[in-house]
């Protein structure tokens, strides 16, 4: 039985690939994972959540982004786009 060889990437390699990529992906522990495209329903839910959060966060030193904002979770090393 043939085994598939996995490729591991550094965070710098992943970020360089992301600058050129047409599709969204996440990075975790050297692996790159494809993310699903957004549907109109998904975007509507995100817009509603954002609309409810922004007034609550205003003036509190927190920020909320609608989508496509690349973030890094320092504790885990995960790189991802905001989940909206």
Provide the residue range defining the domain that includes 24: 11-81
Which residue did the predictor score with more confidence, 4 or 53? 53
The domain total for the chain is 1
Neighbours of 23 (CB within 10 A): 9
Residue 72 lies in a domain: yes
Residue 66 lies in a domain: yes
Residue 39 lies in a domain: yes
Query: How many CA atoms does the CB half-sphere of 20 hold within 13 Å?
Result: 4
At which residue do the structure tokens 């509603």 appear? 48
Residue 21 lies in a domain: yes
Residue 77 lies in a domain: yes
User: What are the φ and ψ backbone dihedral angles of 72, each rounded to 5 degrees?
Assistant: -120, 130
> Distance (Å, rounded) from C-alpha 19 to C-alpha 21?
6
Model pLDDT for residues 13-67, shown as the tens digit of each residue: 999 998 898 888 889 999 999 887 778 888 888 889 989 998 988 888 888 877 6
Residue 70 lies in a domain: yes
Residue 3 lies in a domain: no
Determine if the pTM surpasses 0.75: no
């Amino acid at each position: 039985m043939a085994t598939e060889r996995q490729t591991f990437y550094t965070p710098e390699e992943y970020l360089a690939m992301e600058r050129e990529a047409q599709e969204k992906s996440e990075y975790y522990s050297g692996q790159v994972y494809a993310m699903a495209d957004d549907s109109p329903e998904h975007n509507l839910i995100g817009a509603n959540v954002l609309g409810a959060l922004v007034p609550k966060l205003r003036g509190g030193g927190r920020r909320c982004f609608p989508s496509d904002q690349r973030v890094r979770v320092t504790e885990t090393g995960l790189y991802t786009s905001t989940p909206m």
